[in-house]
């Protein structure tokens, strides 16, 4: 059975992620690909927000686009970001600095700001992911028995306490039935969320959109307490492989919860069952 989120009026136009995460060099020709530094402009869409603010994964994807522009080629394989504040919708500025260009790995530092105020900073390693590389040792990964995408209820775009999460009208985020009580404000108490994520208009995931995917789920603290909003302080991502077409399966878990701090992990698999990304993050619980 296919589950759909309840509507809140006319459906919004679906915006392709590669477009809402696009960046533009500040002056055409001034900072061409492979330059050592550059300033980029981007626009945060109001349809890709959580209560009017952009989430950390979306911001990291924007910084990833800028980093790739400076590197000239390759994929983001590792990123570590620190967040100062969440920007609102509208224009943002991204500054990038190429720190080192190696034979196989390039490192880039990026910063994103709005109205002159720094919002986040990230260090990224860029290399080439080989689509033909086979998976090796998978020790330590959470055991999963995927529930089919069609059998998982979709997360609605309005929270149980009436807050608007516009981004949920864009992406198709679904939770496994055993964890879907979070949608109704009934957490399981396990500190874990499992489900699927699909981009608008059937766009396939790539290494940049995986930077968003690892932070796309609701705070894992919701599975402990429905009102436990959490703000991302630091996020580290490893992109492990080029994903196959289709949605990705995600498992997020809380680690140590010691008020007001909680750490979490995220693992992302493609439709073939291959691990394509993983992340850890430190969050501050706000309520």
DSSP 177-236: GGGGGGGGT---SSSEEEEEEE-GGGPPP-HHHHHHHTT-SPPGGGGT-TT--EEEEEEE
Instruction: Band the pLDDT of 1: cuts 50, 70, 90.
Output: very low
Q: Count up the domains in the chain and report the number.
A: 2
Residues 270, 159 share a domain: yes
* CA-to-CA dists, residue 28 to 31, 98, 250, angstroms: 7, 19, 39
Q: In angstroms, what is the C-alpha Rg of the chain?
A: 18
Write down the pLDDT at residue 146.
81
pTM score:
0.89
Q: Please state the rounded mean pLDDT for residues 207-221.
A: 94
Short-list 104, 163, 183, 146, CA closest to 268: 146
pLDDT of residue 259: 81
Residue at 38 is within a domain? yes
Residue 77 sits in the same domain as residue 109: yes
Within a domain: residue 139? no
* Predicted confidence (pLDDT) at residue 263 exceeds the cutoff of 50: yes
In a domain, 52, yes or no: yes
Q: Residue 287: pLDDT band by 50, 70, 90 thresholds?
A: low
- Report CA-CA distances (Å) from 51 to 38, 88, 168: 31, 10, 11
**What residue numbers bound the domain in which 83 lies?**
17-127
Look at residue 183 and tell me if it is in a domain: yes
User: Chain-wide mean pLDDT for the chain?
Assistant: 88
The reply to whether 24 and 83 lie within a common domain is yes
Pair 17, 203: CB distance under 8 Å: yes
| Residue 93 CB partners (closer than 8 Å, separation 6+) | 39, 40, 41, 42, 112, 113, 114
Residues 160 and 261 in one domain: yes
> How many angstroms separate the CA atoms of 99 and 153, rounded?
44
Task: Name the 3-class secondary structure at 278.
Answer: strand
Question: Of 228, 145, 237, which Cα lies nearest the Cα of 191?
Answer: 228
Least confident of 112-121, 138-147, 152-161, 193-202: 138-147
Pair (195, 230) in one structural domain = yes
Higher-pLDDT residue of 33, 79: 79
Q: How is residue 5 annotated by DSSP?
A: P
Lowest mean pLDDT among 25-39, 60-74, 78-92: 25-39
Q: What is the pLDDT of residue 187?
A: 83
pLDDT of residue 71: 93
CATH number (domain holding residue 251): 2.40.160.210
111/179 same-domain check: no
53 burial type by CB count under 10 A (0-12 exposed, 13-18 middle, 19+ buried): middle
Q: Are residues 256 and 160 in the same domain?
A: yes
SS (H, E, C) 108-147: EEEEEEECCEEEEEEEEEEECCCCCCCCCCCCCCCCCCCC
């Amino acid at each position: 059975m296919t589950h759909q989120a309840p509507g809140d009026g006319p459906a919004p136009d679906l915006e392709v992620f590669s477009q809402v995460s696009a960046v533009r060099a500040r002056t055409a020709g001034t900072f061409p690909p492979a330059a050592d530094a550059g300033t980029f402009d981007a626009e945060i869409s109001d349809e890709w927000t959580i209560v009017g603010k952009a989430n950390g994964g979306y911001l990291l994807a924007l910084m990833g686009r800028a980093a790739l522009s400076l590197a000239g080629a390759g994929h983001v394989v590792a990123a570590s970001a620190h967040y100062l504040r969440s920007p609102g919708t509208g224009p943002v500025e991204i500054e990038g600095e190429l720190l080192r260009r190696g034979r196989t790995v390039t490192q880039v530092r990026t910063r994103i700001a709005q109205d002159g105020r720094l919002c986040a900073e990230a260090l990224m390693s860029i290399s080439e992911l080989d689509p033909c590389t086979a998976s090796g040792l998978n020790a330590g990964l959470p055991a999963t028995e995927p529930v089919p995408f069609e059998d998982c209820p979709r997360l609605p775009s309005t929270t149980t306490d009436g807050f608007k999460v516009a981004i949920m009208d864009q992406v198709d985020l679904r939770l496994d039935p055993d964890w879907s009580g979070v949608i109704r404000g009934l957490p399981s108490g396990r500190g874990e969320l499992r489900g699927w994520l699909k981009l608008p208009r059937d766009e396939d995931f790539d290494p940049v959109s995986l930077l968003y995917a690892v932070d796309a789920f609701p705070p894992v603290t919701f599975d402990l307490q429905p009102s436990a909003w959490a703000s991302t302080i630091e996020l580290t991502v490893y992109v492990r492989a080029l994903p196959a077409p289709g949605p990705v399966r995600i498992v997020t878990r809380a680690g140590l919860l010691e008020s007001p701090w909680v750490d979490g992990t995220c693992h992302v698999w493609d439709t073939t069952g291959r691990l394509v990304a993983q992340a850890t993050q430190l969050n501050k619980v706000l309520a």
